[in-house]
Amino acid sequence: MSELPDGYTAADVQRYVQESPKQAYRTPFERDRARIVHSSALRRLGAKTQILGAGTGDFVRTRLTHTLEVAQVGRTLAKILGCDPDVVDAACLAHDLGHPPFGHNGERALDEVSRDIGGFEGNAQTLRLLVRLEPKSFDPATGASVGLNLTRAVLDASCKYPWRENATPTRPDGTPTRKFGVYEDDLDAFRWLREGAIARQQSFEAQVMDLADDIAYSVHDVEDSVVHRTVSLGVLHDPGRARAIAAHSRDWYGRGEPDALLAALDRLRADPSWIDDYDGSHRALAALKGMTSQIIGRFVGSVARATRAEYGDGALTRHHAQLVIPQETADEILMLKGIAVHFLMAPRERKPAYRQQRERLADLVGALVERGDQALEPHFAAMHREAADDAARKRVVLDQVASLTDKSAYDWHHRYVARRRPASG
């Protein structure tokens, strides 16, 4: 199987470190996907928070099940749009690898305690895992780890925010965002994977991955919230509640016009699959799953038709096309996100447990920085000893903490922080 996949070049399948020839029955992109499937970082997602905490219930999604669903949506889009399904599948499987314990709450905590060394960002951490932390390949010339040593096309497809922290753009409403895709000490690999790319522009496959992520969590977060009885879709009949959700959507994501978002909700509720009432019965659960499936199909079909209408038939790859997302579809996705924001994500910001999660991670980072390599897992301890300065050593501590699952974060906090605090009184 030596021929290049349709629409790709020799540069697209190149690896940062050249490897000896492999078995001919798999493409380079299939091999990349397999490397991610077998990674320890992917396994750990099974015990990390999605929207409802891991362990909340057997039905709700973890980061791992969310990741698998994103990969399924992305693979479907890729097949329709003519980019290699394994490139998109691999990027979807990789897209959340860098997320720390407690989801975006944990990401916020680690960013706050690391501003002095460039901050923490889950997407930049994903790239760091792929090109440095995940043990698979080493550069024989330098002895340095090159992570999974994936192809250029797959690494580029995994890069959701292809810019540095100091080049972070503003949101559509003009407010700043701290979303970025690479730390300063991973720039060599970043520059290599972006060779030939348009500055600050996602590859076509990364755009497909990004949309698949949006579709999956906009629909499935609502589904999980309905089953967990955090959301009742029947209340959306209330015009005041609908306006509040639209406002929350705009405030949270920095985009969307209120009237357009309300019209988007009306279109979704007019879909024959939409259900207002959920009583927990087997029949109700089946109806809810049917609604989920129909809405995903609605979004996939809309984007596929619009993109094909713009570019016609044939392979659409790398930096030769742009995904076309109709504004009505973008508004519908955003309004579904807003439902989860309004009923779950915004209210939990005020809960003590949510604040305590951030405090525990911050305290754990401080304790591990103080203790040094003695408290780290062996491979992180070795990296800590090899680090050139205090900033590099702190980055290794962040790598360690970010790798933990939700439960492990609690356990490590108990071991290195709580047990060492003097008893009060």
Q: How far apart are CA 126 and CA 301, in angstroms?
A: 29
Nearest residue to 292 (alpha-carbon basis) of 214, 209, 215: 215
| CB-based contact 409:364 (threshold 8 Å) | yes
Nearest residue to 88 (alpha-carbon basis) of 97, 76, 100, 101: 76
Annotation: CATH topology of 28-193? Hypothetical protein af1432 (1.10.3210)
Q: Is 16 helix (H, G, I), strand (E, B) or coil?
A: coil
What pLDDT was estimated at residue 167? 85
Q: How far apart are CA 310 and CA 205, in angstroms?
A: 17
In a 13 Å sphere around the CA of 323, the CA atoms on its Cβ side amount to 30
Q: Is 151 helix (H, G, I), strand (E, B) or coil?
A: strand
Regions of the chain with pLDDT less than 70: 1-3, 50-60, 421-425
The residues, any chain, with a CB within 8 Å of residue 153's CB and separated by 6 or more, are 8, 12, 13, 29, 84, 87, 203, 205, 317, 318
The residues, any chain, with a CB within 8 Å of residue 334's CB and separated by 6 or more, are 218, 249, 253, 255, 256, 261, 264
| Sequence ranges of the domains in the chain | 28-193, 204-348, 356-417
Beta-carbon count within 10 A of 183 CB:
23
| CB-based contact 318:208 (threshold 8 Å) | no
| CB-based contact 250:261 (threshold 8 Å) | yes
Q: Chain-centre distance of CA 375, in angstroms?
A: 28
What is the crossing angle of helices 406-416 and 352-371, to 10°?
A: 60
| CB-based contact 55:406 (threshold 8 Å) | yes
User: Alpha-carbon Rg of the chain, whole angstroms?
Assistant: 22
